[in-house]
Amino acid sequence: MAREAYRSLYGDLTKLKDDSLLKDPAAGAADDPELFQLLLATSDWVDSYTNRHFYPRIQTLEFDGPGQERLLLPDLVGITSLKEDTTENETYTTTWTATDYWLEPHNAEPTEHWGRPYTSLRVRTKGTKSTFTVGQHRFQIVGRWGYREFKEDSGSNLNDAAMTTTKVTIAVTVGTDFAIGQTIMIGAEQMLVTNIAANNLTCTRALNGTTGFAHADNADVYILRWPLSIERAALIQAARVWTRAADFEPAFVDEEVDTDVRLLLNPYRRLPV
């Protein structure tokens, strides 16, 4: 089974196969492709259940203008550009600068492990704008969307002088610092680790809307970390689905979702807009 890799996974195979969740069903790596796909499906389900995603995704979104000083947004980590269509023909030619708006809530700090996302923009009284002008598709924002972007230094560096923009097998100084299913970052590029052989990582490049780069040898390699409750819920759900797959026991399944998984996810659940 091929390992699809179109987004981040909320967990990795090492944690999933730990004795506290799931004893390695094959005493080795034979089931890794199926477990990888199950963790991918479970991560999709977590997003659907909570109505948000917890990995940072680079994307361009458009918004109607409310005619007020505040513009409500989905989860946001940071803005690259904010432009306005002043002619109402979907040509975004007027650029707002960072001194024209505030990111709210203040002190959200979504790049820290305790952080939370920004959820709105507010016009700055000392800027050049007064309101987010009313109108359909009035504003275009290029940003990093998601609940959080907290990255942790892996302890390893890139050990690949021949790194290109598309190379999928990359060498690092210590392969055991990583696990299959992790999302790593080098510079601004995200990559999903799909296999590990010694100190070589096989990765899906340019993940989550980022751009592939020819990174410099010895560059720092970071690991993206999710809220612990989100990761734990995804791992528990994946382990239980795997265990039930061969001999489904409906008596042990809640009508909606397992109680402990629900308790972990409910604080992050957001009503759909």
How many other C-beta atoms lie within 10 A of the C-beta of residue 242? 19
What is the distance of C-alpha 29 from the center of its chain? 26
| Alpha carbon distance 44, 213 (integer Å) | 27
Q: Count CB atoms within 10 A of the CB of residue 136.
A: 11
pLDDT level of residue 29 (50, 70, 90 thresholds): confident
In a domain, 65, yes or no: yes
Among residues 37, 8, 265, which one has the least CA distance to residue 145?
8
- 61 and 141 inside one domain: yes
Together in a domain, 123 and 63 = yes
Res 273: pLDDT: 61
The reply to whether 256 falls in a domain is no
In a domain, 231, yes or no: no
CATH number at 212 reads: 2.40.33
Residues 134 and 167 in one domain: no
Same-domain status, 218 and 181: yes
Q: Domain total for the chain?
A: 2
90 inside domain? yes
Q: Of 118, 145, 172, which marks where a domain is finished?
A: 145
Residue 78 inside a domain? The answer is yes
Three-class DSSP labels, the chain: CCCCCCCCCCCCHHHHCCCCCCCCCCCCCCCHHHHHHHHHHHHHHHHHHHCCCCCCEEEEEEEEECCECEEEEEEEEEEEEEEECCCCCCCCCEEECHHHEEEECCCCCCCCCCCCCEEEEEECCCCCCCCECCEEEEEEEEEEECCCCEEEEEEEEECCCCCCCCCCEEEECCHHHCCCCCEEEECCEEEEEEEEECCEEEEECCHHHCCCCCCCCCCEEEEEECCHHHHHHHHHHHHHHHHHHCCCCHHHCCCCCCHHHHHHHHHHCCCCC
* The residue count for the chain: 273
Q: Is 49 found in the same domain as 153?
A: yes
CA-to-CA dists, residue 219 to 100, 150, 160, angstroms: 35, 18, 9
Q: Is the domain of 61 the same as that of 117?
A: yes
pLDDT score for 26: 58
The C-alpha atoms of residue 202 and residue 236 are separated, in whole angstroms, by 26
- Higher-scoring residue by pLDDT: 89, 70: 70
* Same domain as 99, residue 41: no
Whether residue 249 has pLDDT greater than 90 = no
Average confidence score pLDDT of the chain: 93
pLDDT at 250: 46
* Pair 88, 194 in one domain: no
Q: Tell me: do 118 and 178 sit in the same domain.
A: no
The alpha-carbon radius of gyration of the chain (Å, integer) is 21
Q: Which two tokens stand for residue 129?
A: 């704008």
User: Which of residues 89, 114, 145 is at a domain's end?
Assistant: 145
CB count in 10 Å sphere of residue 154? 18
Q: Mark whether 81 and 94 lie in a shared domain.
A: yes
**Does 230 reside within a domain?**
no
Q: How much is the average pLDDT of 175-196?
A: 98
Q: Considering only 97-106, 216-225, 242-251, 262-271, which range has the smallest mean pLDDT?
A: 242-251
pTM exceeds 0.85 for this model = yes
Confidence of residue 88 (pLDDT cuts 50, 70, 90): confident
Mean pLDDT, to the nearest integer, of 148-166?
96
Comparing 257 with 194, which gets the higher pLDDT? 194
Regarding whether 165 and 219 lie in a shared domain, the answer is yes
Are 89 and 68 in the same domain? yes
Structural domain span for residue 100? 57-145
- pLDDT: which is higher, 244 or 70: 70
Residue 247 clears pLDDT 60, i.e. is over it:
no
- Quick check: is 262 in a domain? no
Label residue 146 by pLDDT band (50, 70, 90).
very high
